[in-house]
Amino acid sequence: MMEGAIEKVLLTEEEIKKRVNELAKEIEKDFPQGDLILIGVLKGSVIFVSDLMRALNLKVTMDFMAVSSYGMSSETSGIVRILKDLDFDIEGRDVIIVEDIIDTGTTLKYLYEYLKARHPRTLKICCLLDKPDRRRVNIEGDYVGFKIPDAFVVGYGLDYAEMFRNLPYIGILKEDIYKK
């Protein structure tokens, strides 16, 4: 059922794993002292943040936030809601927001400003996927896995209507699935 919904595999499991390890090395170079807080943005980043955390050879803790601007739609509403806030104080800490994809940037820009107001020592963005053709606001990732074309992608944590997150690769979803 799920395989038949995929138009094309965009990034294989092996390509993703290799790039996650490379991103970990970039982060280790920038934060050799460690003691990082990774903030995974639920739900899409769960697999990515888990793999990234395991690839880091640093002292690292993890927290999660849940934010929404999509709901069950394939298009952002532009209104960002925080559904789950942090459990830990980030003031004076080195923080990396870990996001699955930067699309329009609306949600991530809001989240970045929201966390910046809590006065972390540093605040960086690590995203697995960057879709620059869809950007509506000025925000970029500090650590970017892959730049991708404007296509509806699923897998490796990314979903459509809560489905397809469990695919081990990132694929382009057939248009007839999400245009129903």
pLDDT, average across residues 21-39:
96
Q: Which domains does the chain have, with CATH numbers?
A: 3-178 (3.40.50.2020)
Q: Is the pTM here over 0.85, yes or no?
A: yes
Q: In what order do the strands lie in the sheet with 122-130?
A: 81-84, 60-68, 36-42, 94-102, 122-130, 143-147
pLDDT tier at 130, thresholds 50, 70, 90: very high
Mean pLDDT value of segment 75-99: 88
User: What average pLDDT does the structure give for the chain?
Assistant: 92
CA atoms within 13 A on the CB side of 155: 23
Is 103 labeled as catalytic in the residue annotation? yes
Give residue-wise pLDDT tens across range 158-171: 999 999 999 999 99
- Mean pLDDT, residues 30-44 taken together: 95
CB 145 within 8 Å of CB 23: yes
Q: Which of 103, 133, 150, 176 is catalytic?
A: 103
Question: Is 57 in contact with 82 (CB distance < 8 Å)?
Answer: no
CA distances from 24 to 59, 134, 172 (A): 13, 26, 26
Q: Which residues pair with 21 in a beta bridge?
A: none
Confidence at 77, pLDDT banded by 50, 70, 90: low
Residue-wise pLDDT for 11-24, tens only, equals 999 999 999 999 99
Largest distance between two CA atoms of the chain: 50
In angstroms and rounded to an integer, the radius of gyration of the C-alpha atoms of the chain is: 16
